Chain A
Amino acid sequence: MKQGRGGARGAPAGRTRWSEFAIVALIRVLGFSTVGFVLLIFAFLLREGLPVFFELPASTLLGRLWYPTFGSFGALPLILGSLLVTLLAVLIALPLGVASAVFIREVAPRWAREVLKPLIEVLAGIPSVVLGFFGMSVVAPLVRQWLGAPTGLTAFTGALVLAYMSLPTIISVAEDALDAVPRGYRDAGLAMGATRWQTTWRVVVPAGRSGVIIAGMLGMGRAIGETMAVMMVTGNAARLPLDAAALFKPVRTMTATIAAEMGEVARGGVHYHALFGIGILLFVLTFLINLAAARTILRRRRKGGLR
């Protein structure tokens, strides 16, 4: 802002000031409109979804059956389906992602690091429908053959595909966390006669643990909201996943339900409101996950004074 004031580069002072004002105003409008749009979407979601909580008693909403055609809107199978697939995906992706981050940051030679990092960014850019197709045509048959299950379209298949999708997020966030660990910690470990691996595992990774936790949560946020790939590979049967065997049977997630049914509902009906109600729930869940991640980041900033 300051440079513009005097017209230091020879432009007439009045004109500089005017364009400066216009640019600042434009940026301000754009910034506020982003916030506005988010609020509008949220308001819309509430308007369309809240009625369901008045139209149907809580006992119905938390029931075990989701048969909209027959008026039963039990969301429990969907909620548990989403949680099962998401948690399993993070459970698979987190160790792999952290290991990859350790490899990229601590083990790989520089040239490999420079190839791998952009490659992982590319991985994040693969459209989810492509991954869904891959899951359907490659992963699902493998799952069916190995497990002898009647179908390859299971919660486990979904978790595998979701794990793959959340890996780029987890790797790059965990890699940043390791990168932020001060060199002094590594030096201290090595100077004490610890091997490189011991230093990495016992010093660097613990020092970056809050970042690793954040990586897990962001990966989870990515996984729980994913729709297309999940819909293509999980089989979409709205049954309660209550035992271990449910892992290898079809499930249906909240996102897949909304995507699959929204096109066929009567606008303004109970079913329509119920789908938006699920949308609200999903929104709250992702919000909570992001909030937890943000809190961890804040706490780390407050603690890391000496770095």
Chain B
Amino acid sequence: MAGDGAGVKFTVRELGVRYGERLALRDVSMDIAEKKITALIGPSGCGKSTFLRCLNRMNDTISGARARGRILLDGADILAPGTDVVALRQRVGMVFQRPNPFPQSVFDNVAFGPRVLGLASGRLLASLVESGLRAADLWDEVKDGLAQDALALSLGQQQRLCIARTIAVAPEVILMDEPCSALDPISTLRVEELMRTLAARYTIVIVTHNMHQAARVSDFTGFFWIGEDQAGLLAEYGATAQVFTRPRDRRTEDYITGRFG
């Protein structure tokens, strides 16, 4: 399994997810390395987003979703009954496929988390917002317009704003669900560069349909596939260089070389 001697953030064992009667994910076990970027690739419907949404229990918001198995975050099982989901999500933030800034000002967007969690107010809050925007590589573009409506920003800026908003609550892990699929190539590049910078401080898990992106940006790659019973499974997992150059699994090789559409 991936690890390379680095710390392990998540230890996932025999994770299975059902939506009602339908099995969406079968028996996934993987270790996710701390302060590295782990990319999850695979065809649509293979359960990679489902897997991602288990890591901060966002699947709880979907009615009928049930997860089995174990997901240890720093050794503690987050699927255990008594888990404080709200505290978990503060530690494990999420950036979504479609940029979803609140219809409020740029400042209020970044300040949302700290305000809600009671982390800061006044001048401290302002400096927290600034450092969040700087960390998301957005500060120079919006510093003169912190009061402007966030929806007036370009899509790429909106997505970086969402990253800033996530960073502002000081998470340990950032989950990204196809964060660039709505962005143009230039904006995509900027977000990728940003991810490389952020990896120094945060554990990042990214779901992507773009294999080049996975190859460019990630340290480890997990390849998901759809089993014969239509349930997703983890077909291969390893260091990105190995998965892309010397895949062990035939399906991975076919997928990466483009034999599947």
Interface residues of B (CB under 8 A from A): 56, 58, 61, 63, 86-91, 93-94, 96, 98, 100-104, 112-113, 115-117, 151, 162, 165-166, 169
Contact = CB atoms under 8 A, between A and B. Distances in A.
A194 B113 contact: yes
Contact of A190 (B61, B115, B165, B166): B61
> Which 3 interchain pairs have the tightest Cβ spacing?
A193-B90, A184-B100, A191-B94
Q: Select the residue from A182, A187, A193 with max chain B CB neighbours within 10 A.
A: A193
B100 A185 contact: yes
Nearest to A203: B102
B93 A192 contact: yes
Interface in A178-202: 182, 184-195, 198, 202
A35 interface: no
A154 to B, nearest CB: 42
Contacts of B151: 303, 305-306
Given A192-B113, A193-B89, A184 B94 contact: no
Given A187-B58, A202-B116, A306-B151, A192 B90 contact: yes
A184 B116 contact: no
Nearest to B94: A191
A207 interface: yes
A184 B113 contact: no
Contacts of B102: 185, 188-189, 203, 206-207
A202 B93 CA distance: 18
B100 A193 contact: no
Contacts of B98: 184
Interface of A: 110, 182, 184-195, 198, 202-203, 206-207, 303, 305-306
A17 to B, nearest CB: 47
A202 B112 contact: yes
Contact of A188 (B56, B90, B96): B96
Nearest to A304: B103
Nearest to B61: A190
Contacts of A187: 58, 61, 94, 96, 100
Nearest to A206: B104
Contacts of B86: 193-195
A203 B109 CA distance: 10
Contacts of A110: 63
Nearest to B149: A303
Given A184-B98, A185-B100, A191 B116 contact: no
Contacts of A203: 102, 112
Contact of B117 (A191, A193, A303): A193
B110 to A, nearest CB: 11
Q: Select the residue from A202, A305, A306 with max chain B CB neighbours within 10 A.
A: A306
25 contacts: A184-B98, A184-B100, A185-B102, A186-B61, A187-B58, A188-B162, A191-B58, A191-B94, A191-B96, A192-B90, A192-B113, A192-B116, A192-B166, A193-B86, A193-B87, A193-B88, A193-B90, A193-B91, A193-B93, A193-B113, A193-B169, A194-B116, A195-B86, A202-B112, A206-B102
Nearest to B97: A184
Contacts of B115: 202
A185 B115 CA distance: 16
A184 B91 CA distance: 20
Contacts of A186: 61
Contacts of A192: 89-90, 93, 112-113, 116, 165-166, 169
Given A188-B96, A189-B116, A191-B89, 10 more contacts: A182-B100, A187-B100, A188-B165, A190-B89, A191-B56, A191-B58, A192-B89, A194-B112, A203-B112, A303-B151
A191 B94 CA distance: 6
Contacts of B116: 189, 192-194, 198, 202
Contact of B96 (A184, A305, A306): A184
A198 B98 CA distance: 22
